[in-house]
Amino acid sequence: MNDFINKNYTYALIGASANKEKYGYKVLENLLEAGFHVLPVNPKGGKILQQKVYKNIKDISTSIDVAIFVVPPQITQDVIKDVLLLGVQKVWLQPGSENNEVIDFCNNHGIKCYHSACIMLEQLKNVT
């Protein structure tokens, strides 16, 4: 767990949302308030919580330590290939974003994958 949660890491949040009711907003807000460096990703771009939103994870020029997914599994399946191409070695699959194909893809390509747990709750327990 400590391998995934570290305030020195840079996180890409795939599925960031400007809609305060969605987990893509709640996760972003929670992590920013806790002092994490989070780069929101959403095809609409723009800004959320004063943060520049990248339209695609491939648009991020800085190194990403962990990609967090808060999207349906079929979108996770598409974007996980870009994660591999970018050399991101850790992904956090929020509940509802994972499926067996994504988990198998990560395992088969050497990507550490954490799933079946909410990062908002886990970061409270394991901050480094």
Question: What is the per-residue pLDDT across 29-59, written as a single tens digit (0 to 9) for each?
Answer: 999 999 999 999 999 999 999 999 999 999 9
Closest CA to 117 of 90, 89, 94: 94
Asked whether residue 18 is assigned to any structural domain, the reply reads yes
Asked whether residue 2 is assigned to any structural domain, the reply reads no
Question: What is the per-residue pLDDT across 54-73, written as a single tens digit (0 to 9) for each?
Answer: 999 999 999 999 999 999 99
pTM of the model: 0.95
Asked whether residue 74 is assigned to any structural domain, the reply reads yes
Q: How many independent structural domains does the chain possess? A: 1
Asked whether residue 15 is assigned to any structural domain, the reply reads yes
The CA-atom distances, in angstroms, between 84 and each of 1, 49, 65, 67, 104 are 21, 28, 12, 10, 13
The CATH number given to whatever domain includes residue 117 is 3.40.50.720
Closest CA to 90 of 115, 71, 73: 115
Asked whether residue 14 is assigned to any structural domain, the reply reads yes
Average pLDDT for residues 89-108, to the nearest whole number?
97
**Cα 13 to Cα 95: distance, rounded to the nearest angstrom:** 14
Asked whether residue 71 is assigned to any structural domain, the reply reads yes
Asked whether residue 36 is assigned to any structural domain, the reply reads yes
Q: Is 102 exposed, middle or buried (0-12, 13-18, 19+ CB in 10 A)?
A: buried
SS3 61: coil
Domain interval for residue 102: 10-126
